[in-house]
Structure 1
Amino acid sequence: MSDDWAAQRTEAARVQAERLRARQDVEHEEAEALLRDFVRAAAAAGLEPEPLQVKGYGGRGTARTSLRGWYLRQDRTAGVTTDGTFYVLTAPLTLVDRVRGARVAPQRPPMILGAGGKDGSSIELVAALERLLPGWRNTAT
């Protein structure tokens, strides 16, 4: 009986993990579509992109990147590039990174930036984009 119970629990956990991944995929796809629409609207509105930098963990310095785009958070820890790709702009920086520049990998965007962080540090992606270009959704069709 114990083996049967363990097998049932394992299967239940697997099914729950699959459902969570499916929900996360839907959220990421919605966020990716929002970012693509925003980039088109920003280009049409003439919103100038800027060079994006990476912040070191714990506020320890910054490093250049080859990326250009817009910061999504006021603390400059997330950004979107001119092609609609999302980046988390924090990393463990070495002295070499600070001098030569750092590379960051693109990530799938969330609908809420900073979710699970300190109170008041999260912001909905739509609100972050609206702060950058008010009314952009009306022009992104």
Structure 2
Amino acid sequence: MKVLVMYVDEFGYTPAQKNLEEAEDITEGAVFKDSIAAFIQVEAEDEEYDVKSREKKLVNHLKWTARKNDCKKIILHSFAHLSDSKASVEFTKELFDRAEKRLQNGGYETAQTPFGYFLDLNIKAPGHSLARIWATL
């Protein structure tokens, strides 16, 4: 799994193009302030592990990043552009849903960008240490 995490002053999206036929129809966008935006690519190799172990690894990384940026809001964004390897849609969506629930149980405000869409993004991110962190999990 590859993860690019950014602390953002503002992160907004608008659905641009549906790229997964079975995805629900979404026309509205959203805007988040003072959040952690996590660009996540789940890789085929992740499916060799139990989804729960991948969930734990991801959530621990996101919590660490949030603490370093004194932030309690986390946005999960499926971003299949960090690696050539891609996990199945089913595994990826399950991992996102489980990670979101675990983060909520830990007291974090969470959101997921629409799964199965290309999105127009608007990002305002400060340029300070630990505002952008890339990791292989």
| Superposition TM-score, scaled by structure 2 size | 0.26
Higher fraction of strand? 2
Higher fraction of helix? 1
| Superposition TM-score, scaled by structure 1 size | 0.25
Q: Which protein has the larger Cα radius of gyration, Structure 1 or Structure 2?
A: 1
Using CA pairs below 8 Å that are at least 6 residues apart, which structure has the higher relative contact order?
2
